[in-house]
A and B are shown apart, each in its own frame.
Chain A
Amino acid sequence: MADPRNDHGIEIRGLSKIFGPKANELAPLLDQGITKTELNEKYGHVLGLKDINIAMPAGCIQVIMGLSGSGKSTLIRHINRLIEPTRGEVLVGNEDVVKMSPRELREFRRHKTAMVFQKFALLPHRNVLENTVYGLEIQGVPRAKQVEAAMHWLSRVGLNGFEKSYPNQLSGGMQQRVGLARALTNDAPILLMDEAFSALDPLIRVDMQTILLDLQKEIRKTIVFITHDLDEALRLGDRIAILRDGEVIQQGTGQEIVLKPANDYIMSFVEHVNRGRVVEVQTIMTPLAAGEAPQGVTATEGTLLEDAARILLQSDTDRLTVVSGDGRPLGVLTQQKLMEAMVTKVA
């Protein structure tokens, strides 16, 4: 799935973070399997992250999901080292971010990453245009180029005509569009989004998700997206990692997580998910027996159950044939089976 134009995958290896003055002395205790509660009660230190291993392919959206206190915001801040890790590696391309000197780190942040924040974090004394050029200004790009790039991305996120407005004059949704435009103008291969849409109301949030997905088709950046909302995670994520108490408890595609939750905790999350919008037809189809002829209407591999149901409803049959991208029939799905899959869990 890696994109040839973007070779900036991120690999996190054995990353741990203990907050507190004696973090380094306490780090060996992690190997002995000390828990978050123990570390807090015995030593008064907070375990932020524990032995995180995630490989994020280049050009994909990796969602990190977890509730508050799960360490997801801590994790994303390790990728551009806004937080120093206690141990572990963060590999971007071939470089270990953890080992960079301050100067290298600054260059890395300027050219390789851009970040969108939950609370927007715009400069209140600068208007929209001046906020958007910030990254390029820091890099020392000529002013004309700064403005050209900024105007391009401002129009892409739908902020034409707002260049001269100040952040305080804009609604939350529009402020976050500025945040997004600012990050995109930086033209970095990695986009870090820390609960970027969490502060927005539901309709605008879905709106922003759509904008992001549309843009991603074209920009193909490596996006790390933090959220506490499973629906958002499933909608955006090519891959999802679920964090709890600083540990990754499951990672995989949305379907894998919905269909095979690793434990009760994740189960309780996915229970309420609309499976029709996550599960794809080929996952639940009955493979075609040799020589069996395709019947009824067809749906391409990768179609979501909800869309397949719509196709079935509009036809007069109760059978649906799943075909591959090049039209080869793969399997069959009955109306019965489709409905079962949408309402109950698949074993």
Chain B
Amino acid sequence: MLRKLTLALAAAALMPAGMVSAEGKLSIYHWFEYIPQELLDKFSAETGIEVTMDTFDSNEAMLANLKAGKMGTYDVAVPGDYMVEIMIGEGLLDTIADGELANMDNIETQWLEVPFDPGRKHSIPYQWGSTSFSVNRDVYAGDIRTTAIVFDPPDELKGRINILDSQGEVMLLASMHLGIPQCTNDREQLKALDDLLQSAKGHWASFNSDGAKDVLVSGDAAVGMIWNGFSSKAREEGANVEYSYPREGLIVWMDNVVLLQDAPNRDNALKFMDFLLEPENVAAVTNFARYSAGVKGVVDLLEEGLKSQPEAIPPADAPAGTFIQVCDQATQEVYDAIWTRLKK
């Protein structure tokens, strides 16, 4: 009896992976509300591949889930720039060999060589944009092109500020406000960062990422740290908000489709990546998410309003964008301590 059971278990364990995962499937691990269902249906119709998707709400949550035993269940994920670098370091990403992607040449030249994935060996661009803050112009008419709006706000904005619940972006914006480098290991600078956040917290109403648009539309917040496309959606939903391009600096980010290590359907994952490098398909994502694609020939396929939206066209004197840097362990631990102190 026991022997039979052992044999059955052994047989199950030895079954080749191809038999367990039926052919023609693709499993995606994606951000919430970031890809139109019609586009997934189109992919299924074109290839006959059945698509399943789980969603996450932060890069860190995705990493935690993958590390807690979800590797081998998903084929592709969509991490942000710095998270791609972390995932490469953790050995979670498979390498895309030369020639495996037919549409690699469609990537815009400026996004081919990126600091977080040199040579684009593991990832392709999905969408990119900037992170800053938007201000309700009914409440405040003054100059908003300064990070002081968030960290040292004028009286009418005090207590009406929503902050993204995202350590990396808050730390970078605060560093820009102080004019100190990211991931600094200078103790005075780190102390100043801590002091700044402690004093600014008194002016903040809430930390909310997935509701960053809603708090602006509902009027709960008059200032909201936000991603540019999300701010554009808030404006279209009737909020009189203006997206700020602060003189102190602008955070840029890029989300990327990555090939996960141990992907159960590697070939289908590559087909999906090629699919997303077709201008027509990635334009559908941009029209939905209202950020920018990193693929050539997309501009002509965008909706009219998108081409002229102020959230995607920085003024001529706007500073160049800065990516979030991956800090070393010692600095990251101080960042974590500052973040916990901020929320204690």
Do A and B pair up? The answer is no
